[in-house]
Structure 1
Amino acid sequence: MLSIKTNGAAIGALDILRATIDGRGETQSRVTTGYRVAQASDDAAYWSIATTMRSDNKALSAVEDALGMAGAIVDTAYNGVDSAVDVMQEIKTRMVLAREPGVDRDKINTEIVELKEQLKTITHASSFSGQNWLWRTDVADDAPKQLVGSFRRDADGGVTVTNVDYDVAGVAGTSEVNFLIDDVSGDSGILTGSGFAAELGTAKSWVMFNGESGPTYDEMVLNDSVTDTEIEEMISVIDAMAERATDVGTTLGALVTRVELQSGFVMDLQDSIHYGVGKMVDADMDLESTRLKALETKEQLGIQALAIANASTEPLISLLR
């Protein structure tokens, strides 16, 4: 049937051409953006998941930065303790030398004074970004140190930031202390606390030196009036201090390793999330490029088909002339 009102063939060809143009536009968008799911209208479920995971990946990136900061803080404290142990061993060596008959104890004490100053320098300098885990200057320093460890999203959608904890205070007045110097009360510092002498049962409350505040204990000083027994007590106390500092260094070293491992894990986790999101929303560029070429060809054929369909009325027009 030939009609001058309705050209069914042209309408059909036009519908096909419109669908082809729409498909070419969608494919062109995927090729341009690189995304198969670029917005919620493309696939609401995948878009929602991908958006949430991208947000989590940004949070993990912040965690990675925080772990870098944490690693620097812990490493600074570890290096400080490690250096302090070496100096304490030097002091102990000179104390042993002072035990020998006929030595000039005043000259040895001059060396010890300088080594003590070095211990103070090490402790005060073991600071990173305002964090010093070896020097107690305020009661607020006793708070456990919390380092950002990871970011976690629960099954119900809740988010949690997990921490790596370190008990910096220890037990004041005992040998279980972690600060090197306590300038508040003295007894929370390895070098300033009397807990070592008390546990060893020495006649005097020997300390390497006194803190700026708190009680005054018996500082380790060599002179001609110091007895051999007192020197032996000093040596035993210094040895106990060095052992405790070594234990603290071991704990800090293990913490450094844990932070490094956690940092590596966070980086791997970021890569996994990035890859997983890509599998959901990224376009297959080989497939989309091939599809785009095919649709462009189909569009040209559709234009020709529409032209042919529109030309079907020309015989009628020639009869009406």
Structure 2
Amino acid sequence: MLNSINTNPGALLALQNLNATNTELTTTQSRINTGKKIANAKDNGAIWSMAKMQSASSSSLNAVKDSLQRGQSTIDVALAAGDTITDLLMKMKEKALAASDTSLNSTSLKALKADFDSLRDQITKAAENAKFNGVSLVAGSAKPLVFLANADGGNFTVNAQTLGLQGLGLSTTGTTFTTAAEAGSMISKMTAALLTATNKLSALGTASTGLDTHLTFIGKLQDSLDAGVGNLVDADLAKESAKLQSLQTKQQLGVQALSIANQSPQSILSLFKG
């Protein structure tokens, strides 16, 4: 081995090994600090890009969930109004049946008519006021509502089910009575309107169930995407902790080795002592 005061191969080798250890130690400390084995594109460009795309998909699903939850609320309001309307129709049928009794005097008939007309008008109020965030599925002018279904902009459509008088086959002028005979004819109309209302509420209930199921799926999909991203970029902290201890020990030994290598040229001085 060349004995030189200009070049110290042993020290150079020791320094190379120490630098390599320091680089590994820096990487391990970064993983422990961030909790990620791939924190940026420099660590692994392909995996980082893949993880970013999946994270974007997962984040965009938050907007989908918000849209579907608004849909849930809108349908819930419509169903609540529908329950009220069916109750009103049953009461109207009861009033019409009572008024069809020919033994009633005119005062009682007028009282039943007033109750019947009042219940009829409440149907219109219930349908028009059944709005969530200004949107209704049961008002006379209600239109189908379209909500987000996926991160690509797909739609989930809920058809309107109008529960106002017109939607039930009734009207303000035609749905009333002044005689017992007219009251009798209202009984069948109320039965038909009640059947129409329950069918429309059944359709809304089916849409609500479908929306709830899709919302549950979106939640599971988002969890799966987040877990997938974690598998790609998250660090195994237990493994990194063990590696940190090893590298710290290796670093200390590397410093000692470099120190010993730097002392080698001093042995040449002994050759010049008389």
**Would the TM-score normalized by the shorter structure come out above 0.5?**
yes
Identity of aligned residues (%): 31
Partner of 2:50: 49
Match of 1:219 among 163, 169, 174: 174
Give every structure 1 segment of 4 or more consecutive aligned residues whose post-TM-superposition deviation is greater than 6 Å: none
More strand by share: 1
Partner of 2:138: 134
What SS does the aligned partner of 2:150 have?
strand
Query: Given the alignment of the two structures, is residue 240 of structure 1 paired with residue 196 of structure 2, yes or no?
Result: no
Partner of 1:111: 115
What SS does the aligned partner of 2:153 have?
strand
Match of 2:218 among 263, 266, 274: 266
Partner of 1:148: 148
Q: For structure 2, list consecutive stretches of 5 or more residues without a partner in the other structure.
A: none
TM-score under structure 2 length normalisation: 0.93
Structure 1 residues 250-259 or 277-286, which shifts more? 250-259
Alpha-carbon RMSD: 1.6
Contact map agreement 1:66 1:148 (CA 8 A) in 2: yes
Contact map agreement 1:149 1:259 (CA 8 A) in 2: no
Partner of 2:98: 97
Partner of 1:179: 162
* Equivalent residues in 2 for 1:1-321, closer than 5 Å: 1-103=2-104, 104-137=108-141, 141-142=142-143, 144-151=144-151, 160-168=152-160, 178-181=161-164, 189-191=166-168, 193=169, 207-209=170-172, 218-223=173-178, 226=179, 228=181, 230-320=182-272
More helix by share: 2
Spell out, residue by residue over 1:98-143, the C-alpha distance to the aligned partner (whole angstroms, 9 max, x if none). 1112222111011112212321221122000010122234xxx44x
- Give 1:234 deviation, angstroms: 2.0
Distance in 1 between residues matched to 2:136 and 2:93, nearest whole Å: 26
Which residue identity does 2:216 align to in structure 1? G
- Give 1:318 deviation, angstroms: 3.6
Distance in 2 between residues matched to 1:181 and 1:111, nearest whole Å: 18
Distance in 1 between residues matched to 2:163 and 2:154, nearest whole Å: 28
Contact map agreement 1:106 1:222 (CA 8 A) in 2: no
Q: For structure 1, list consecutive stretches of 5 or more residues without a partner in the other structure.
A: 152-159, 169-177, 183-188, 194-206, 210-217
Spell out, residue by residue over 1:69-106, the C-alpha distance to the aligned partner (whole angstroms, 9 max, x if none). 11000111111112101110110111111111222211
Spell out, residue by residue over 1:40-68, the C-alpha distance to the aligned partner (whole angstroms, 9 max, x if none). 11111111111001101111111111111
Partner of 1:173: none
TM-score under structure 1 length normalisation: 0.80
Pairs aligned (count): 269
Distance in 2 between residues matched to 1:285 and 1:315, nearest whole Å: 46
Which residue identity does 2:120 align to in structure 1? K
Distance in 2 between residues matched to 1:283 and 1:266, nearest whole Å: 27
Distance in 1 between residues matched to 2:26 and 2:243, nearest whole Å: 11
Distance in 2 between residues matched to 1:6 and 1:33, nearest whole Å: 41
- Give 1:227 deviation, angstroms: 5.4
Spell out, residue by residue over 1:167-205, the C-alpha distance to the aligned partner (whole angstroms, 9 max, x if none). 32xxxxxxxxx31237xxxxxx324x4xxxxxxxxxxxx
Contact map agreement 2:123 2:164 (CA 8 A) in 1: no
Spell out, residue by residue over 1:131-158, the C-alpha distance to the aligned partner (whole angstroms, 9 max, x if none). 0122234xxx44x32122222xxxxxxx
- Give 1:219 deviation, angstroms: 2.1
Distance in 2 between residues matched to 1:320 and 1:258, nearest whole Å: 95
Partner of 1:203: none
Partner of 1:200: none
- Give 1:240 deviation, angstroms: 1.1
Structure 1 residues 127-136 or 283-292, which shifts more? 127-136
Distance in 2 between residues matched to 1:105 and 1:162, nearest whole Å: 56
What SS does the aligned partner of 1:147 have?
strand
